[in-house]
Amino acid sequence: MSSLKYHFLKLNRLILFLALTATILTFIISFYSNYEVQKAQLISQRINVNQAYAHKLADTTEVFLKLSRQQLAYTANGLGTKMHDQTFLTREANRLKYQTDSFNSVVISNAVGVTQAASPETLGLVGRQLTSVGSRQALNEKKALISKPYISTIDNLLVFISTPIFSPDHDYLGFLGGTIYLKKPNILREILGEHFYHNGSYIYVVDNDKKILYHPEPERIGTIVENNTGLDEIIAKKEGGLSLRNSRGIDMLAGYSTIPSTGWTVVTQSPLASSLLPLTGIMETVILKTLPMTLGVFVFIWLFARAISHPLMQLADKAKVLDSPNVSEEIESINSWYVESSSLKKAILSGVKLLHTQIGQLKLDADTDPLTGAKNRRALQYRLEALVVQGTKFSLLSVDIDYFKKVNDTFGHHAGDEVLKQQVAVMNRFSRAQDMVARTGGEEFVLLLTETSQDDAFVVAERLREAVSNETFEEVGHITVSIGIGAWLNDAKPLKKVLLSVDEALYAAKANGRNCCVMGK
C-alpha cells in the first residue's frame, strides 16, 4: 500500500516536473526569439533612419554645391568683358565672399594664374602667381571644377570650386574660384553640424580616398580613416546602410549616401549599444505581458497531465481490490477517455472476469462431488450451519444404497459409478430450489428439505424409496435404498444430535431388512 502511494506521488511529481519544464522552456524560447526579433528590428530601424538622414544631408549638400557653382558661373559670365577693371573684379570677389557666405575665400585669376582680385583682401594674393593644386587644375582643364581636398599654399586644407572666365569671343581669360576651408568654420559644417545627435550618433563626410572632409571632431578632418570595417563597402556602394566597427573599435549602425557632384559620401552613424537601449524596456514589457499567459499555459498543462494520469491512478486503485464484489462495475464507471487508458481498462476488466470465473469454478469444485455433481459433505455442513444460524427448520433424509458392494462385484466399478450418478438424478427429482442433494459417503446420500416437518419428510422418504426401487438402472437393473429421517426444529436439540439420530435411524432401517424408511428419535 505504502509503496503504491510512493509511486503515485512520484507520478504526480513527474507530471509537475514535465509541466514546469515545458512551460519554462517555452517561455525561454519565446523570450529569446522575441529578443532577437526586437533587436533586429531596432537595428534595422536605426540603420534606416541613419540612411534617410545621410540621404537628406547629401541632397542638401548637393543643392548647396549646385547653387555655389551657379553663383560662380553667373558672376564669371559678367567678368568676360571686365577683366581689366580691377575695381570691378575686387567688388565682385567681395560680393561673392560676403553676400553668400558660401566660401571662405574667393579669387579671380587671369589666364596664366596671376591673381587679379581676392577676398578677403587680407590674404594678400593679388598680383601673385597661383600655384595650388586647385588653381593649376582650373587653368589646365578650363572648365567648372570641384577639386579634391588639398593643402593650400598658406597651409589650409581646402576644396576649390571654380568656373572658367571666357571673353564674348570665347577666349579663355582665367577663372573665378571659391574655397571652402575644411578645418575652419565653413558652410559644410553649418549644413552637417546641425544634425549632431546627443546619443553618441554623429555624421562625417569622406571622399573616395577615405579622407575625412567633415567630422564633429575637427582634428580628424583631413586624416584618412583606418580600421573601419565598413568603409570600403560604403565607398563602393554609395547608398545604403550597414553594421560596422569604427576605427575606435565601437560597433556602429551606419547609413550613407553619396553627393553626386563630388563623389563624397555622407555617413551617419549611431553606436549599436545606445540604439539597443530601448530593448530593456521592450523586453520588460514582453515579460509582463507573457507572464500571465505562461502561468496559464503551466496550469493548463498541469491539469491536462493530471487528467491523463487520473484514470490510470483510479485503475491502479481498483487493481488493488480485484476480489471485491462490485469491482467490475466500479472499473466500468471509470472515465477512461483516451485510447490507452480505455485499453488498459478493458484488459483489467477481462482479467477480473477471468479471475471471478476461476474463483467461481474453484468454489464449485470445493463444494461439489466430482462423480455425481451433487454437493459434498463440506457444502452440506456449511448449509446446515447456516440454516441453524438463520433459525430455519429442516428435515434430513439419509439415503444409503442397499448391497452396493454386490453391484460393484457383479457389474464392475464403472457400472457402480453409473448407479451412483443415476441415484443422484432420482434424488434431484425430489429436491426443490431451497433443498439440497449431497453425497456424504461412497454410496450414502443426504436429501436436505428446508421448512419441512419430520412427518412430511417421512412421506417424501417413502416416495423416494419407491421411486428408486421402481427405477431401472442401466446394466444393473433394480436397486433399493434404506432411509433414516431426522429433523432440526429450531429447538434446544443441537445439530450434532440431529445428525446422530438420523444416522441411528438409517442404521435401524438397515437392521430392519433394508428397503425401508425409519424416523429418527
Contact residues for ligand GTP, defined by CB under 6 A: 371, 400-405, 408, 413, 416-417, 420, 442-443, 510, 514
Q: What is the 3-state secondary structure (H, E, C) of 198-224?
A: CCCCEEEEECCCCEEEECCCHHHCCCE
Minimum gap (Å) between residue 482 Cβ and ligand GTP: 7
- Number of alpha helices (DSSP H) and beta strands (DSSP E) in the chain: 14, 16
Choose between 192 and 426: whose C-beta lies nearer to ligand GTP: 426
User: CA 179 from chain center: how many Å?
Assistant: 68
**Phi, psi of 449, deg, nearest 5:** -115, 110
Choose between 196 and 403: whose C-beta lies nearer to ligand GTP: 403
**Phi, psi of 42, deg, nearest 5:** -65, -40
Minimum gap (Å) between residue 435 Cβ and ligand GTP: 23
Minimum gap (Å) between residue 514 Cβ and ligand GTP: 6
Choose between 254 and 401: whose C-beta lies nearer to ligand GTP: 401
Choose between 320 and 413: whose C-beta lies nearer to ligand GTP: 413
In sequence order, what are the residues at sequence separation of 6 or more whose Cβ sits closer than 8 angstroms to the Cβ of residue 387?
A: 394, 450, 488
**Alpha-helical regions (H) of 248-376:** 272-275, 278-319, 327-332, 339-367
Minimum gap (Å) between residue 462 Cβ and ligand GTP: 19
Minimum gap (Å) between residue 437 Cβ and ligand GTP: 16
Bond preceding residue 120 cis, omega within 30 of 0: yes
Minimum gap (Å) between residue 365 Cβ and ligand GTP: 17
Choose between 374 and 449: whose C-beta lies nearer to ligand GTP: 374
Task: Cite the beta strand spans of 132-272 per DSSP E.
Answer: 145-146, 150-151, 157-166, 172-181, 202-206, 212-214, 239-245, 251-258, 265-271
Q: Which helix (H) or strand (E) holds 108?
A: strand 105-110
Sequence length of the chain is 521
Grid coordinates representing 312? 490510470
Choose between 251 and 444: whose C-beta lies nearer to ligand GTP: 444
Minimum gap (Å) between residue 384 Cβ and ligand GTP: 23
Going by C-alpha positions, the residue among 244, 238, 280 that lies closest to residue 263 is 238
Query: How far is the C-alpha of 163 from the C-alpha of 178, rounded, in Å?
Result: 9
Choose between 315 and 427: whose C-beta lies nearer to ligand GTP: 427
Grid coordinates representing 370? 466430482
- ∠ Cα 330 334 335 (to 5°): 160
Choose between 13 and 414: whose C-beta lies nearer to ligand GTP: 414
Minimum gap (Å) between residue 464 Cβ and ligand GTP: 17
Query: How far is the C-alpha of 481 from the C-alpha of 74, rounded, in Å?
Result: 157
Minimum gap (Å) between residue 480 Cβ and ligand GTP: 9
Choose between 145 and 516: whose C-beta lies nearer to ligand GTP: 516
